[in-house]
Structure 1
């Protein structure tokens, strides 16, 4: 079956299960997709969970997985491999849109309608608290994932899936923010933010145009950059034990934001307040910066001889710390797997999530897609290390990585963070004043 036919069939299955098309329309589209009439009828029955499986294993349960955008088609292959196990469950795979905001809209519209058009949800790490608080996803129980199994995951990704004492999803992929540095210009990487600033000034502009490029535009990437500096100074946005308690207006936060403001027009260009990931990455790849903060995918791009001027000239390091702290913390990104609370087949969903969380699938995913695994064992795998040698360095960043504030009100929280932090960066507000205003805004948000 060609890709376009599979896409048509998958979309048709989703629509018949959600009641958006009738039986006759389903059969017509299935025939158009290349199925025989007998196969179309069998699939129609399976959509209702009443058909016999082709392997004769009894009734087949049909579930739909919508993932984050995957241009590699590897996720689709995982679903097909699972289906070949003939275990009475058939997974229909839906590739998500490239725009994460669009995927969130798809999910929230469906869940507000209490629909089960999609059973297994791939969620950005900042979504589980909101989905759990709204009763949109099923909490993962101790019997499903006991402590002995949870310990196999890195703590950061698991923390990001936890809200109000419950685990609302299982980590699927993970990625930490990384500090990139030019090893041909600097013999050792910095451990503190003060060291980074001193090193950047020692080589820029004498040996290289810019000292440090990062993401300072008013968008979600700014929040990631800010919390990395904030956590490195020992500060926090919300009390980790009480998401209703705002802690942003602290001496540590003032130090962190003052540090970031000090970079402007010294080690970082003023234009960094407009930079997103690719803006700084292109400057970096063209050999014009000594340091860069970015995600792991920039490693492969920086070593691409067709598009990079710095192949073999750079390395990565854990995020620095500041003040009285001695440990830096990356902001953790990545995707999680949750079960639609309105799905009629939560047990089948869990079996599929267990499969995607297995060491073999996780290992394949790292090697084939460059997504990092939330499992502690994967970076130590010899085959993974041979094919992705910098994975051992990323592991240290993952061990200490932290998520953005866990709250069902995160969409409003991030808007407030972006606004007030950016105001300080463009010097429309002093750091202390920006944080005081941010404290008031966040208190009003979490009190709702």
Structure 2
């Protein structure tokens, strides 16, 4: 593959992706080779995967990469506007895992059925697969995924904490000794705070929505998660910037040396190796802390699903193209070259994965029992009210906040009110 893997990881972590402007879209109407427009976020080596699939198609169709804007909100807005206008130049869509329900509920994407669905289900990890379903039907093919890990300094903490209570206690002990002690993670009013809370809820055995996704329940586990989030925020172990922290500022703060622990995505490790090699030598990874000592955490997944537009002129070719783009070989290539963990479990056994992902066993362990964010076509509104109500975490009153969330989320589910 040319460039050594470690150097590639460092380059991916440090460099911004170059976004190719969207070209004029459209397929062939003159009987020539159909063009399959693939709308997807900017991924540095995606064109190589596309070239591989085009070669496999042997002239039956040609996939063209239509690069979406870098920001997730901008990506969604662009696709929603085109789909609402029934744009037939949209074929294969790269969706954030939280959008599948919304797009399926609006009838903007096609159900995966028959052999297409069977191929996607075969060997795909359960969490990513759950994120691709709507009303027990498959509407997308999980293409990549992700989970956060616990990163800890072995020069400060010989053994990683199993629970949040253990982590808070260890951090407080380090603070009393005048040593680096902070638990650094994302607490700003945005999706990252929702992810943090959702992981705590799932790890406590709780639920935000009912099983059918139509009722806001905020059960005992969800209330317990609110209590834990408040205790964490007020225990004197967070960074002063906790309530404003996003992923990359949290990464940089940990690299600065004040943190004993960091809860963040796997990309932080190669970035740390490149920017702070002395610190990186003392940093290891472990499973995200749980709520109870004898119950493993259930960590919220990220990632991208591939869907086929309801308005494509080439549904057969689009499903075939999507299957190729996310097959095991191409997922392995994307994992190694673009740092996106696979959704197909067998890919983790590939020998090349050991060097590219030294933490792959912990990633896979979390993925085998992962959690997903509330599955609802109204998720974007749910996320908005949750992030606003949970911020700042130090102001949470568990019972009162739970009651407020129940009302606000139920209103979001019923499309009541004007949400920010």
Task: After superposing the two structures, state which structure 1 stretch, 260-269 or 348-357, moved more.
Answer: 260-269
SS of the residue corresponding to residue 313 of structure 2 reads coil
Q: 2:313 aligns to what?
A: 344
What is the CA distance between 1:227 and its match in structure 2?
0.8
CA offset digits 1:223-259 (Å, max 9, x no partner): 01111111111112112x21002121x2222221111
**Is it true that 1:134 corresponds to 2:106 in the alignment?**
yes
**SS of aligned partner of 1:260:** helix
Tell me what 2:202 maps to: 231
Contact 2:88 2:312 in 1 (8 A): yes
Deviates more, 1:370-379 or 1:389-398: 389-398
Q: 1:177 Cα deviation (Å)? A: 1.6
Deviation at 1:117, TM superposition (A): 2.2
For residue 38 of structure 2, the aligned residue among 65, 69, 83 is 65
Q: Report which stretch shifted further, 171-180 or 76-85.
A: 76-85
Matched, 1:11 2:16: no
Q: Where do 1:15-414 residues align within 5 Å? A: 17=26, 47-48=28-29, 50-51=31-32, 60-70=33-43, 72=44, 74-85=45-56, 86-146=58-118, 150-204=121-175, 206=177, 208-239=179-210, 241-248=211-218, 250-265=219-234, 266-304=236-274, 306-307=275-276, 309-323=278-292, 326-414=295-383
Structure 1 residues 49, 188: closer, same or farther in 2, change over 3 A? farther
Residues 281-309 of structure 1: CA deviation (Å, up to 9, x unaligned): 111112210111111111211221x3455
Aligned 8 A contact 1:68 1:122 in 2: yes
Which of 382, 397, 404 is residue 430 of structure 1 equivalent to? 397
TM (norm. structure 2) is 0.89
In 1, the alpha carbon distance for the partners of 2:77 and 2:384 equals 17
Do the aligned partners of 1:176 and 1:331 also contact (CA within 8 Å) in 2? yes
Shift of 1:211: 2.5
Report deviation, 1:387: 3.1
Q: CA deviation at 1:270?
A: 4.4
Post-superposition shift, 1:161? 0.8
Distance 1:311 1:152, change over 3 A: same
C-alpha contact (below 8 Å) 2:181/2:258 kept by paired residues: yes
Deviation at 1:143, TM superposition (A): 3.0
The superposition leaves residues 58-92 of structure 1 with CA deviations (integer Å, 9 ceiling, x where unpaired) of xx22110011121x2x1112112222232411111
* TM-score in terms of structure 1 length: 0.84
Q: How many residue pairs are counted as aligned between the two chains? A: 395
**What's the counterpart of residue 30 of structure 1?**
none
Residues 380 and 392, structure 1, Cα contact 8 Å, conserved in 2: no
Q: Deviations over 1:324-372 (max 9, x none)?
A: 8612011100011000100010110111111112221111111111110
Aligned residue number for residue 20 of structure 1: none
- Larger RCO: Structure 1 or Structure 2 (Cα < 8 Å, ≥ 6 residues apart)? 2
Q: Which runs of 5+ in 2 are unaligned?
A: 1-18, 416-420
Give the conservation status (yes or no) of the 8 Å contact 1:175–1:334: yes
Aligned-residue Cα RMSD (Å) equals 1.9
Matched with 2:8 is none
